Structure 1
Amino acid sequence: MMRSEPSDDCSLNWRACERHASCTMMQIFSLKLAYPPAGDQVKVYGFMAVRDTRDHLRNYIFNRTRVEQDDGFIQLSGPKRGIWWYDKQLVEFDMRIKRGDNEADDPQLIDGAVWFYDGCSPHAKVLTQRIDGDYGSVDISYTLLQTAMEATVQIAASELDRDIGLLVRAYYVSDLLHQGMQLFDGVFPADAAAGVADRYELDKYVVAASRRTKLALQLRIRSLDDDVDAWRYCLSPASKHGTDDFSFALSFATIDVKISWSTLD
């Protein structure tokens, strides 16, 4: 979100600003166990992070402690900013499978780092890279998007019914995917609504979108008390600066969505 606000040097039509450039970005869609044990629930924890040549810092795409491990589905927690692609990327990982009462009892799923060299890979094609370890393999699904911008998605809930819990799920919808990529899965129990806060925010999530496309989000909003389902949709044109705000007033809550656009140059 470093350049969400246009500067004085931007052109008059700052959404199509010529001063700040788009770039090639890496969009990671999923992490999956390649060979999950049959009939056995797998609990995975640890981290996977990307280092690009923009600042060389870890940009976590998955980061879970042993206490908050994922059950089967590896829920991505990042990245926290767009992943700039130039020639190659370093992907680091240290992921374990929870088996015993202590970490010493847990087998190492994968541990180490690999370089991704895909400078000649086709634009906007879903690719899969398998990372093998001593106790399993993880498939990372991703794509490279040229002339891309960073979109930061924020979701907040307000005016909650104090007697009804709330479930909010958000999916990134793309023509590249057979099904939507889940960004958020947040639950606000009834006792949370009875607290002192009037507004509850989920974590930010960053995705990449190419120029002249639109970012599509699908929201499932469900009350936990009477199983009332509401589906809402957001469509935001990719741009170099600015924000798009959406608000959905339901009988049991109000859901606000904010999409902030920025370049990485």
Structure 2
Amino acid sequence: MRFTFGPIPSYARPHCTMQIFSVRVADLEDGLRWPLHVHGLVAARDTSDHNRNFLFSRTRDNCQVLTQQDPYLLLTGPSRVIVIIDPITIEFQLKVKSKTDPEEDEMLAFGIFNYPQTYLATHVIRSGILCDRCTIELAYAPLDPSVEATIIGVRIIDGVWPEGLRGRVVAEVTTVREGEVLLLDSRDGKMPISPSTGAVELWRHVVSVDLEGGKLVVSVVASPQIAGKEDGDDGGGSAVVVARGEAVFAPERAGTSNGTCDLGFCKVEVAVAWSLVSSLWNERRALAKLAEERAWMSVLCVPV
């Protein structure tokens, strides 16, 4: 949301970005057995600032339990879009928690995935990253030119969410087939809704959207908590749908948009903030040009 409000600098523009849909653990080796109590990190680095942009980060005291039926990491990032100008890297540092001794935690995945290409995709790309004790499957798609969409609010504005219904909030980009970004899944727990404001607490917020020809679709899905999971669904979707509402957004360069998902028993308002993106190279070039212009002005303004 760097350029959502206020003046937009010249170096902010649509860029080629990478949308990451899911990260899955597969093909366990070397004595590892399901379920796995996983902690550690998955992070991306790009030319925006070279810092880690976390997709997954959990401490040992807050492990995620992965099963053979649901081996997807619950992603909470990125915190901003991943910009593809120079090659980007995805870093994995994942461990399996020992049941007895912290010193005996086992390494699950340790490595780096390099992505140098900038070609476009109309479907989800699935790359298997071979690690010593498992395979990490990364599902992603490059989008160009694209902008950053931040889902800043999901709020019930009419009606109530029924007890006993599982809730899922997902985002899709119409230019990428079979791609779904899981923003929230209450699973067998209660839908995280604030009793005072009706706001729904999301896991993920940031999505890349094609500026030319693409649209952002945010869906709220209600299903029984005891429902099974579809084979191949990223993050474990429910096979039985009680109600589904969609809000469709045309991409913008800045500002905010609002839409409503009508599920019948309640209406859910979705708010999206739009922003262009930038890179360190563009910013430094713009600052150097500004410094040069100021230097010339100071020379021209010196009295003879």
**2:18 aligned to which of 26, 41, 44:** 26
User: Structure 1 vs Structure 2: percent identity of aligned residues?
Assistant: 24
Amino acid at match of 1:28: I
Tell me which moved more, 163-172 or 61-70.
163-172
Relative to structure 2, which stretch is displaced further, 81-90 or 61-70? 61-70
1:131-189: CA deviations, max 9, x gaps?
22222120112121111000111323467759836643112234534363322114774
| Amino acid across the alignment from 1:205 | H
* Distance verdict in 2 for CA 1:210–1:196, change over 3 Å: closer
Q: Does 1:205 find its partner at 2:205?
A: yes
| Distance in 2 separating the partners of 1:32 and 1:233 | 27
Instruction: Measure how far apart 1:48 and its partner are.
Output: 0.4
CA pair 162-236 structure 1, distance change in 2 beyond 3 A: closer
- Gaps (5+ residues) in structure 2? 226-239, 279-304
| 1:49 aligns to 2:43 (yes or no) | yes
TM-score in terms of structure 2 length = 0.70
Match of 1:200, SS state, is coil
**Aligned AA for 1:130?**
G
Aligned twin of 2:215: 214
Structure 2 distance, partners of 1:162, 1:25, is: 35
Secondary structure in 1 aligned to 2:27? coil
Partner Cα separation in structure 2 for residue 89 and residue 177 of structure 1: 23
Counterpart Cα distance in 2 of 1:139 and 1:251: 37
Q: For 2:19, give the aligned amino acid.
A: Q
> RMSD between aligned alpha carbons?
3.4
Q: Give the match's secondary structure for 1:104.
A: helix
Q: Work out whether residues 123 and 177 of structure 2, in 8 Å CA contact, stay in contact via their aligned partners in 1.
A: no
**Could you say what secondary structure the match of 2:199 adopts?**
strand
Residues 163 and 125 of structure 1, relative CA distance in 2, 3 Å threshold: closer
The Cα of 1:83 is off from its aligned counterpart by 0.8
CA contact (8 A) 2:93 2:110 kept: yes
Change (3 A) 1:221 1:162: closer
CA distance in 1, matches of 2:18, 2:144: 9
Deviations 1:205-247, CA, capped at 9 Å, x for gaps: 11101112111122113587xx993210011011111222123
How far off is 1:70 after superposition?
A: 4.0
Tell me the residue number matched to 2:268. Answer: 255
**1:34·1:138 contact (CA, 8 Å) conserved in 2?**
yes
Aligned pair in 2 of structure 1 residues 251, 122: CA closer, same or farther (>3 Å)? closer
2-structure distance, mates of 1:3, 1:51: 20
Name 2:110's counterpart in structure 1: 111
Contact kept, 8 Å, 2:245 with 2:263, in 1: the verdict is: no
Contact 2:220 2:261 (8 Å CA) reproduced: no
**Residue among 141, 144, 164 paired with 2:142:** 144
The equivalent residue for 1:4 is: 4
CA contact (8 A) 1:64 1:70 kept: no
Alpha-carbon distance change, 248 to 30 in structure 1, aligned in 2, over 3 angstroms: closer
SS state at 2:103 partner: helix
Residues 160 and 166 from structure 1, CA distance in 2 versus in 1: closer, same or farther, beyond 3 angstroms?
farther
User: Unpaired segments of 5 or more residues in structure 1?
Assistant: 11-17
- For 1:253 and 1:112, how far apart are their aligned partners in 2? 45
User: CA 1:123–1:223 in structure 2 vs 1: closer, same or farther (change >3 Å)?
Assistant: closer
Separation in 1, partners of 2:48, 2:272: 23
C-alpha separation between the residues in 2 aligned to 1:247 and 1:44? 36
Q: Quick one: which amino acid aligns to residue 40 of structure 2? A: G
- Report how far residue 127 of structure 1 moved: 2.9
CA contact (8 A) 2:215 2:251 kept: yes
Q: Matched residue pairs, number? A: 253
Measured in 2, the distance between the counterparts of 1:250 and 1:33 equals 33
**TM-score, normalisation: structure 1:** 0.79
